[in-house]
A and B are shown apart, each in its own frame.
Chain A
Amino acid sequence: MFQAAETVSATLAAPLDETGLIRAAQNGDQEAFERLVREYDQAVLRIAINILRSPDEARDVYQEAFLKVYRNLSSFRFDCSFHTWLYRIVTNICLDHLRRRKVRKEESTAVETSDGPVDRLLQLREEGPHSDPERQTWNQELAGGIAHALAGLTPRERTVFELRHYEGLRLRAIGDMIGTTEEAAKNCLFRATQKMRMSLETFV
């Protein structure tokens, strides 16, 4: 993607050796950088969409985060895992976006269509491979319920919840990322799960 035909690398088909890829990317191997992007970019986009609740802003975060990685990869010293470093960059950019947005009213993700208001975030998600109509309807309702429940969280709660539940990060790492203690992150997660459970009570 980033390089011309004369510098063909055979790395695309090889299994992922993350440390090797990072070192290669640090030495200017564009193919290695691209593989790193491919490895994590779906997660980055998903985190940004779910924290910011705006596909357009998530797209900006994607750009900003990976360009930051590209520019600063040489300073990555393997003190933490690459994904912790990357997710820290992504959450910081997301939080910056939220701070900038704070002065204005939080945008609604709903758009008006001929069928009434539709949540753009729900439109983004594809239907699962099991296309039983009843199951599909239930999935759509559940996705709507989860989106609604996530919208009811504060940005901080949403960030902690997203990183712990969907990305599987440890609370200590999350605390580091958002500049707080593990204990505070734990309390935040508790509040988030309580709110989510209340909001999704009809599904449980």
Chain B
Amino acid sequence: MTCLDATKEIPNYCYGEISSETEETLEAHLADCAVCQKELARHRKFLELLDERDAMVDAGLLVECRNELSRAVRRQIAVEGSHSAGWRGWQRATEYLRDLSRVHIPFRIPVGAMALMFLGFLAARYTPEKFGGVREALAAPMFSSVSSVEPDASGQVQIAVDQTRRRLVSGTPEDPSIQELLVSGVNDGTNPTVRLRSIQILHEAPSNNADSQQVCLALRGALDHDPSAAVRLKALDGLKQCATDAAVRTTLANALRKDDDPNVRMKAIDLLAAHHDDSIVGVLQSLVQREDNPYVRGQMTQMLAQFNASPGTY
């Protein structure tokens, strides 16, 4: 094997993507070639460097994606539900009528009449709302919004209508399904009161919930992105229970850096101060000099003193 061949095989060798024969040949070459050994060491260092890239995705974006998917799946279920209910009804009716052929003649007429009544019942039960089957609609009002309008070449117009059916779901705050809905509430883009109440209930619910990570992620997303300072403050309350978590501390440090509301910054400091870790000292030292709010600056200085650190970097 030449050095050129070895250089070509080194990346595949590092990924374990070469045959055992090539591996043996390459290792034999490496044993005798200092240049290729150096090349292997450099390539390994390069791969290690790539692994330092932060593999996390933005929590806010992830939460948005999950919520959008949740809505899309619910729409899909609604569509499938209405189709399959109608289809099942029709299947049942036709199977019933088919079975009539196997019934003894004297019973055919009364059984046939009953089958027709049954068919009528099914028709009434499963007819779409626009034809009068409104019971379901009255119990659960439907909200529609037009999401796109596309004229086509034949002169027709295709309109995509998103429909949402309201349901009343109740349960205790510890119930995982209720918590799921509350997490969705935290991300409600339109109603800050819903976001605030959702966070409050999640915060007050017992902490041994089944998916506290999901709650934590939603709260971090709210602290990072929510336009309402009241909601961000409430999210900070909720994050108290997981304030030792490294990802939460990163979000808190980000709030300290970026949040334009001094109350949010003050509260973020409180949470960071509750658990001593040296990495926060650097963040505080870099921020204390440019903090324009005297109260926040005072609190930062106090926290640095508590950590036995100077209020500046030298």
Contact = CB atoms under 8 A, between A and B. Distances in A.
A70 B57 contact: no
Interface in A1-40: 1-5, 7-8, 12-13, 30, 33, 37-38
Nearest to B284: A131
A5 B169 contact: yes
Nearest to B180: A1
A70 B80 CA distance: 12
Interface in A168-204: 170-171, 186, 189-190, 193, 196-197, 200, 203-204
Contacts of A146: 50, 53
Interface in B226-282: 246-247, 249-251, 253-254, 279-280, 282
B250 A45 contact: no
B56 interface: yes
B313 interface: yes
A81 interface: no
A45 B70 contact: no
A1 B176 contact: no
Interface range on chain B (Cβ under 8 Å from partner): 35 or more
Interface stretch (A59-67, A82-90, A92-100): A59-67
Given A126-B59, A186-B17, A4 B177 contact: yes
A68 B62 CA distance: 18
Contacts of A197: 43, 46
Contact of A133 (B54, B65, B175, B286): B286
Interface string B274-314: 00000110110110000000000000000000000000010
A128 interface: yes
B86 interface: no
Instruction: Tell me the dominant secondary structure on chain B's binding face.
Output: helix
Contacts of A103: none
Interface string A122-149: 0011111111110000010011001000
Nearest to B251: A126
Given A4-B177, A46-B55, A189 B12 contact: yes
A145 to B, nearest CB: 9
A19 B72 CA distance: 24
23 contacts: A1-B70, A1-B183, A4-B169, A5-B170, A5-B171, A8-B175, A8-B176, A13-B176, A41-B65, A59-B65, A70-B73, A70-B76, A124-B57, A125-B57, A126-B59, A126-B251, A127-B250, A129-B247, A139-B52, A142-B49, A189-B12, A193-B11, A197-B46
Interface of B: 8, 11-12, 15, 17, 42-43, 45-47, 49-50, 52-59, 61-62, 64-66, 68-70, 72-74, 76-77, 167, 169-171, 175-178, 180-181, 183-184, 210-211, 214, 246-247, 249-251, 253-254, 279-280, 282-283, 285-286, 313
Q: Which 9 A-B pairs have the closest CB atoms?
A: A129-B246, A131-B279, A124-B58, A5-B171, A13-B210, A12-B210, A62-B65, A5-B177, A125-B54
